[in-house]
Amino acid sequence: MATSQRNLSSYDAGTVPDARHMKFGLVVSDWNSEITHAMCNSAIGTLISHGANNDNIVVKHVPGSFELALGAKWLGESDEFDAVLCIGCVIQGETRHFEFICQGIAQGIMQLNLTFGIPVIFGVLTTNTIEQARDRSGGRYGNKGDEAAITAIKMIALKKEIE
């Protein structure tokens, strides 16, 4: 779990399973693209550093974070992926819009986990400011994309272990 006291990119690489035979779909919001594209690039780098083949990583873009769940649903329906990572960023504004969007995204992604039985990873920053988002997408707190990639690898491995 990410906190302001913990770097999102810090983890024990020895605890991460080999991702060589795993297939990943990434759905990336283009809203706040400075943040989301940095998170996506970091996630891909982390997947590859743990053995994932670049040919087994597919990236699709959606307009905003609210569309992540539908994009992830379409990837899940394809039966091509062991996990889908949802990469987005919602920054608090002056209205309650932030709350509705964040709640909808979280519920949608959670439901997809249960519907498809594959990991659908919540790699969505929900910050108060652009500075907080920058801090968590390659800044002083690391990159949430790394955390999403590690979570996907570990969840795929758990599923395979149970099967």
Q: Which of 21, 50, 61, 97 is catalytic?
A: 97
At 90 the three-state DSSP class reads strand
Element (H, E) at 86: strand 83-91
Secondary structure (DSSP) of 95-163: STHHHHHHHHHHHHHHHHHHHHSS-EEEEEEEESSHHHHHHTEEETTEEHHHHHHHHHHHHHHHHHHH-
Annotated active-site residue 50? The verdict is no
Beta bridge partners of 126: 90
Instruction: For the beta carbon of residue 150, count every other beta carbon within 10 angstroms.
Output: 24
Residue in the block written with tokens 């053995």: 51
The catalytic residue positions are 97
